[in-house]
């Protein structure tokens, strides 16, 4: 692990060995971003191929796609790619090769929005329970209907089917989106999941859906194909998913065989809770304190996204031993060449100093 390396090594450049034996060439990852570059019918396009070729050319180790949906009836936003059959396999293969031909690993982030889809986008929205959004959000999001047991089991099968197609297309792995208020996060949250059947009622039953999704994907892709998960450290919502439940969920996933855990937090309703203390901002990573709690519990590789600005800050997080992969998203959109600079120990020319000054003002 990273804490065994000599102190002068640039940890960003070191390869990462996953739990299943796979290797990512360095510790820098593009976290999921939703490009909405699909067709009106939600098919992938050559625009995605060109974009990911551009990102992979920078030397980055891992690229995670954003918001690829498993069901055309359940979109998170217009322009989402949907993978539910093999009709787009040739373009999916080109998309995968856009990264892998240049040495980068590429994971497809698989998602189902549940209730978190704006009015009018889908014929109807389902969720674990028929819990409305907050009053401020209710003008944009309708109250969902409660999913039936049959619908839940169909969604689980769809996650597995989509993952199998991703493997066939040549992608390096998949990431289960279990964060940010989407369907899996809704099942985990006692606020959104008020069921009393096998899918809710206790923390163990609330995480059963996520574990069933993982198990179905593993059945479809086999033991050697990496499966990652994006998980909230907490929802930051009264009555929602807590740090204690998140830690227990990570432990359950590790016991099941997950290969990589990305830590995040917040939902559409709460937003991402950004640190305000100057001491926390100095460490850059928003969720590093929670990552330290996870690291004390498990040895699975951990990815943290949010707040990173400098090569020094990224290396410090890796040096702590609590972080194994540094995720960047907004920084890579603003400055698509930044991975090449960071891997040489240099900061972004575009926004490093500006972000530092802005965050310092917010912390004051």
* Contact present, 209 and 156 (Cβ < 8 Å): yes
At 264, the pLDDT band (50, 70, 90 cuts) reads confident
Q: Tokens 């990911």 label which residue? A: 52
Rounded CA gap, 335 and 313, in Å?
18
User: Hey, what are 13's tokens?
Assistant: 């450049």
Q: Tokens 């099968």 label which residue? A: 157
pLDDT of 164: 98
Mean local confidence (pLDDT), 325-349: 93
Residue 271 has pLDDT above 80, yes or no: no
User: Hey, what are 46's tokens?
Assistant: 């050559």
- Its CATH class, for the domain covering 2-363, is alpha beta
Listed by start position, the domains of the chain span 2-363
* Contact present, 67 and 38 (Cβ < 8 Å): no
The dihedral formed by the CA atoms of 67, 73, 79 and 80, expressed in degrees to the nearest 10: 20
Q: Tokens 């990264």 label which residue? A: 99
At 355, the pLDDT band (50, 70, 90 cuts) reads very low
pLDDT of 193: 97
Q: Supply the angle between the helices 243-256 and 288-297 in degrees, to the nearest 10.
A: 50
pLDDT in tens, 223-256: 999 999 999 886 565 666 788 999 999 999 999 9
pLDDT in tens, 16-74: 999 888 899 999 999 999 999 999 999 999 999 999 999 999 999 999 998 999 999 99
Measure Cα distances from 207 to 128, 152, 241 in Å.
12, 13, 11
pLDDT in tens, 70-116: 999 999 999 999 999 999 999 999 999 999 999 999 999 999 999 99
pLDDT of 233: 83
pTM of the model: 0.91
């Amino acid at each position: 692990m990273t804490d065994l390396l000599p102190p002068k090594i640039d940890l960003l450049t070191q390869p990462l060995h996953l739990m299943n034996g796979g290797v990512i060439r360095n510790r820098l990852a593009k976290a999921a971003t939703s490009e909405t570059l699909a067709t009106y019918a939600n098919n992938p396009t050559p625009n995605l191929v060109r974009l990911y070729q551009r990102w992979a050319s920078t030397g980055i180790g891992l690229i995670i796609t954003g918001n690829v949906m498993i069901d055309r009836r359940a979109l998170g936003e217009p322009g989402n790619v949907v993978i539910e059959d093999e009709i787009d396999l040739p373009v999916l293969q080109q998309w995968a090769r856009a990264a892998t031909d240049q040495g980068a690993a590429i994971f497809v982030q698989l998602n189902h929005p549940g209730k978190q889809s704006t009015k009018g986008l889908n014929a109807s929205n389902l969720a674990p329970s028929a819990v409305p959004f907050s009053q401020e959000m209710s003008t944009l999001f309708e109250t969902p209907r409660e999913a039936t047991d049959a619908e839940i089991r169909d969604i689980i099968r769809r996650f597995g089917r989509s993952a199998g197609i991703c493997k066939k297309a040549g992608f390096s792995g998949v990431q289960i989106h279990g964060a940010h208020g989407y369907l899996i996060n809704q099942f985990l949250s006692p606020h959104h999941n008020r069921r009393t059947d096998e899918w809710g009622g206790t923390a163990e039953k609330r995480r059963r859906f996520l574990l069933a999704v993982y198990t179905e994907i593993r059945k479809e892709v086999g033991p050697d194909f990496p499966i990652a998960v994006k998980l909230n450290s907490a929802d930051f919502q009264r009555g929602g998913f807590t740090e204690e439940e998140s830690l227990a969920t990570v432990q359950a996933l590790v016991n099941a065989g997950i290969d990589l855990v990305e830590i995040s937090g917040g939902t559409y309703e709460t937003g991402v809770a950004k640190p305000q203390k100057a001491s926390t901002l100095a460490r850059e990573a928003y969720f590093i304190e929670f990552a330290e709690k996870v690291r004390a519990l498990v040895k699975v590789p951990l990815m943290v996204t949010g707040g990173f600005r400098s090569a020094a800050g990224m290396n410090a997080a890796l040096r702590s031993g609590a972080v194994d992969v540094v995720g960047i998203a907004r920084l890579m959109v603003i400055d698509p060449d930044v991975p090449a600079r960071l891997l040489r120990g240099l900061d972004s020319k575009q926004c490093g100093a500006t972000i530092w000054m802005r965050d310092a003002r917010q912390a004051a």
